[in-house]
A and B are shown apart, each in its own frame.
Chain A
Amino acid sequence: IENHDTIGMLALDNKGNLSGACTTSGAAYKLPGRVGDSPIIGAGLYVDNEVGAATATGMGELMMKTVGCHLVVELMRQGASPQEACRQAVQRIANKLDDFEQFQVGFLALNKQGEYGAFCIQSGFNYAVRDAQGEQLIDAKNLLENKA
């Protein structure tokens, strides 16, 4: 997992404005010239100030072919909570893979009301929150935890 932990960050400021940032060195020992989702607006990061923001971690190729973070924000636009939007986006990626349990993708989202949530395929993805209540490290819900 340490092989692909992009750092993504989303913030809502005092004026109620959202921004996001995402940075990575990509997969260790990647082929020269390989680019993942992290620098791609819509895949590794998306912000719509009317709705919310999302960022992603895990296997970039999967986020790129589903335009994952744009999807998460659009699901929030349709009324989903941040966690539910992340869950639906992860589910959509998993549905297209025969062996989704072999992969990790995780989304983190923050909406205009300052609510946040995350979801991933496998356990092990966590995220950090800082607000007026203090700091927290939260384990993201995952697709495999309700199985077996």
Chain B
Amino acid sequence: ALIKLTNKPVVVSTWNYGLHANEIAWEVLSNGGKSIDAVEQGIRFLEENPDVMSVGYGSFPDREGKVTLDACIMDENQNCGSVAFLQGIKHPISVARKVMDNTSHEMLVGDGAKQFALFQGFRDENLLTPEAEEAWKKWLVKSNYEPVTN
């Protein structure tokens, strides 16, 4: 009988930015590292990049000009961590990892998530770049202030 070999290690990610994120994750995987560390490192790379305007630092804000971030992470043992409506913290994926590793909860949101992040040593930063602020102000001019379904 034919034995089908497992293709490992392997990393996949969404969109073309994923190519860059995969390089970072591959560094971890090809050195025998754990998949949970690979995905966290790969995602962090994009959260840091202001050119990726839908993730982390440099993101488009909500309609009031606030950047609010959501993220979750899950490992091979069904351990999960999640944050939502988090503001002022550049790396929500790493805060989600800390929720998973350092608490008995699975999800923290809003001010509570931020307080937890600061307690864990994350820095409070302005995530709204001049580029994103300009795009938002442009949007405000024509905004009909109705929920957009796109």
A: residues with CB less than 8 A from B are 2-36, 38-41, 44-49, 53, 55, 57, 59, 102-103, 106, 108, 110, 112-116, 125-132, 135, 137
Contact = CB atoms under 8 A, between A and B. Distances in A.
Interface string B66-93: 1111111111111010111100000011
A127 B16 CA distance: 6
A104 to B, nearest CB: 8
A73 B111 CA distance: 33
Contact of B8 (A12, A31, A34, A102): A12
A67 to B, nearest CB: 14
A19 B148 CA distance: 32
Interface residues of B, number: 76
B118 interface: no
A4 B62 contact: no
Contacts of A12: 6-11, 35
For the complex of A and B, the 8 pairs showing the least CB-CB separation, nearest first, are A114-B7, A25-B59, A128-B18, A28-B60, A17-B76, A19-B35, A130-B22, A21-B39
5 contacts: A8-B14, A25-B56, A45-B73, A115-B7, A127-B14
B14 A6 contact: yes
A13 B8 contact: yes
Given A11-B29, A14-B8, A125-B15, 6 more contacts: A9-B12, A9-B22, A10-B12, A10-B39, A21-B96, A112-B6
B42 to A, nearest CB: 5
B148 A128 contact: no
Contact of B52 (A7, A19, A110): A7
Contacts of A9: 11-14, 18, 21-22, 25, 39, 42-43
Contact of B55 (A3, A25, A112): A25
